[in-house]
Each structure stands twice: as C-alpha cells, then as structure tokens.
C-alpha cells in the first residue's frame, strides 16, 4: 500500500493538511482534499495545501478547499508554508526572508525564528483590489463600497475587495449571534459574485480593533481567514472606521492578526504552528 506523508499545521486555527511535492508524486488532489479534510473520517482540516517546487520563488503553494475546489490565496496558509519550507530545510537556516509563488503572484515573507523554528511571519500580501470587474463583482460603479445588496430577502451594506481572492465585507452590530450556516451560503453563491465569494461579518470595536467571523467559499465557516482579515481592514479604512498606515488588530475565532493597509500594499502579521506529522494510505 502506497503512503503519502503530510504535516498538519494551522494559522490561528485555520488548519490545513500540508503535503510536499518536492519528493512525492502527483495525486488526484481534489479527491484527496475532500477525503482528508473530513474531521470524522479523515485527518481534518479546512482543506489541503501543497508545497511545490517553483522556478520563480523558494516554493509554490497550491490550495484545495474542503470541497475539492482549488483556491487562489490563503493568508494563514502562506505563513504556514513559510514555516514548512524553513523548518524542513528547504531553504538555508540563515534565510529568514522567503518567497512563495501563488495563483495570486509571488509573495514575500519575513520569518521570525526561535530555537531553529519559525514562530510567526510577516507577509506582504500585495495591493488591495477594489475595481469590481477585477474582484470579480457585478456592480455598475468603480468601487463597491458600502453598497446595498439584497441577500435572501434582507438588504446588507457590503464592501467588495480582492486580496487575490474575492471578499464581501459587511459591518454588523453583533457577530456572535449570526447564524452563519444559514446566511453564509446565500452570500457565497450570490449572483453579484460570479466566482463565488468569501464573506466577512465585522464588528468595529474601535479604530484599531475589529472582530470578525468569516464564511469561506468552498469551506464554510472557518475559525480564521488571513486574506479575509486583510480585506476587512481595507473595507474598514475605506468606510472610515480605521485609518490607512496604522496597525489594526483583527480578532477572529481562532486568534488575532495584525493588518496594515497602505496605498501600496497590505501587510499581515501572525503566527504559524505545526500540530503533527503523519502518513496516509492512498
């Protein structure tokens, strides 16, 4: 029986099964993600992330959601990929700046190392995209900011942002009482977002602090979403709740991320952790 080695990792509880293709063969990754993501019969996770060779960066990241669909970018996932390549010696021990190739372009990570292991990473996530056609979102204006959107019979005010993947951010008075399992799919499959959408429900604590829950396309509610936290801070600044160029702490169910939005880019800082190593029979 053939076996495939994996590493279970998480970034503030946004957990994936990480698999290296540097020394392991190609598989039916869509089917394997569905199988391994199951929290009762598989390893359990929000999907699988492949760590692959790249001709333009230190490594390439591919993401498959729990439903088998391939994602473009994952903020928590890329921090764990940075930890993976460093901790496993795929880059030299003195290399604490690494580059990761993604479907959203090459991203640069600054790694914080303690006792030979990565503890956290600071990621340049690139510029936020607000043009609806590039998100993509169906909207007549040049920016979809604080725009009314009817979802399952209720009107929500939303802001659309792409961080390499599409996000719909809405500000609410209470995040804890939301029935995300009921309303999340209506946002995800709304016709305004032809490629489906990740949706962030956000409470403003103050101009430096936000609380967020997220419904991710292909995975349902997750305990954290790095690109979602970035999109949330972008939306908060564009709506006047927070200020550009300042660190904003985003409280998610799994932990905290610190995000800074500028005219040029979005910077995300947060932890990365290894849970365990294992093998799965194919």
Cα-based distances in Å from 240 to 31, 105, 196, 237: 43, 29, 27, 5
74 catalytic per annotation = yes
- Contacts of residue 56, defined as CB under 8 A and 6 or more positions apart, other chains included, come to 99, 101, 106
> Cα dihedral angle (83, 252, 204, 215), rounded to 10 degrees?
100
What tokens were used for 96?
A: 């604490």
80 is catalytic: no
Instruction: Compute the distance between CA of residue 49 and CA of residue 52 in angstroms, rounded to an integer.
Output: 10
Number of other CB atoms surrounding residue 137 within 10 Å: 26
Kindly name the residue from 80, 225, 230, 237 that is annotated as catalytic: 225
Mode of pairing for the β-strands spanning 198-206 and 209-216? antiparallel
Which of these is catalytic: 74, 168, 230, 242?
A: 74
Nearest C-alpha neighbor of 271 from the set 45, 128, 75? 75
Alpha carbon 38 to its chain's center: 19
Q: List, in sequence order, every residue forming a beta bridge with 20; answer none if it has no partner.
A: 51
Q: Which residues are catalytic?
A: 74, 225
């Amino acid at each position: 029986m053939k076996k495939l080695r994996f590493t279970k990792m998480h970034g503030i509880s946004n957990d994936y099964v990480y698999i290296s293709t540097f020394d392991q063969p190609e598989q039916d990754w869509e089917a394997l993600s569905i199988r391994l993501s199951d929290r009762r019969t598989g390893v359990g996770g929000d999907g699988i992330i492949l760590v692959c060779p790249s001709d333009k960066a230190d490594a390439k990241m591919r993401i498959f959601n729990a439903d088998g669909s391939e994602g473009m970018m994952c903020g928590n996932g890329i921090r764990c990929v940075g930890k993976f390549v460093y901790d496993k010696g795929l880059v030299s021990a003195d290399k604490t700046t690494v580059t990761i190739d993604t479907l959203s372009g090459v991203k640069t990570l600054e790694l914080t190392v303690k006792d030979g292991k990565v503890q956290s990473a600071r990621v340049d996530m690139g510029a936020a995209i607000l043009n609806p056609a590039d998100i993509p979102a169906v909207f007549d204006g040049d920016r979809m900011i604080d725009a009314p959107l009817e979802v399952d019979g209720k009107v929500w005010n939303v802001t659309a942002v792409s961080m390499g993947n599409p996000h719909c951010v809405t500000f609410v008075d209470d995040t804890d009482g939301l029935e995300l399992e009921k309303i999340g799919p209506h946002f995800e499959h709304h016709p305004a977002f032809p490629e489906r959408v990740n949706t962030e429900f956000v409470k403003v604590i103050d101009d430096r602090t936000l609380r967020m829950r997220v419904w991710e396309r292909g995975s349902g509610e997750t305990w954290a979403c790095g690109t979602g936290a970035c999109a949330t801070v972008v939306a908060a600044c564009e709506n006047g709740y927070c200020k550009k160029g300042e660190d904003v702490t985003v409280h998610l169910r799994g932990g905290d991320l610190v995000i800074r939005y500028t005219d040029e880019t979005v910077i995300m800082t947060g932890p990365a952790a290894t849970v365990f190593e294992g093998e799965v029979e194919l």
